Chain A
Amino acid sequence: MSLGPKSKIFLEQAGYRQRRVRDAVRLLPLLGIVLLSIPLLWPRLEPPEAYSSGALVYIFGVWVALIAISAFLSRTMHADDDEAAPKGGSDA
């Protein structure tokens, strides 16, 4: 380790950020559950078909959002993972 004190501080901050990113990854499915349950709170309409395309757009919208957030988080986390876990595939 030939890191000066300065880069250590930087690592500390990066480490902190990584932890919060992990927290976010952990929380994401909960967010998903909440968002996907919200339609259950919608008022009941007569006839029920009235929700048709609206419901479709909502569900797929939530879906797209979850994927986008997950992609963002996993990309943010990926760099750190590379450093934290020694490379697996380095052949002798």
Chain B
Amino acid sequence: MGKRVLLIEDEPNILEAISFILSRDGWTVHTHEDGETAMKKVEGFPPDMIILDVMLPGRSGFDILRDLRASEITKDIPVMMLTARGQEKDRELALRLGANHFMTKPFSNAEVRDHVKELMGA
């Protein structure tokens, strides 16, 4: 398929794990680790889907999501949010800001793969 997933996550090991399983499924995975510059990265090269961590250095995933939805270029890119805080209000906030899916860490690999597949419309 080769559709592009952009993974924005600052934890290198999680980054590596998700990259591995998604690449194995045939997606092209790009990664980015910084909140501050994430928007620039997305707008410069809009992916087909974004996996976005909430807790990022620089700017929170919620801020980035808000920007993504406000930008003409990115407003329709499916976004799956990841958080390790696991609070219900985070989920509500994410969905209200326009996230397409919200996942709490830790998750099973199958969960990630299924949701990516679903959001990609495959």
Direct contact of A and B (CB under 8 A): no
- List the interface of chain A (C-beta within 8 A of B): none
- List the interface of chain B (C-beta within 8 A of A): none
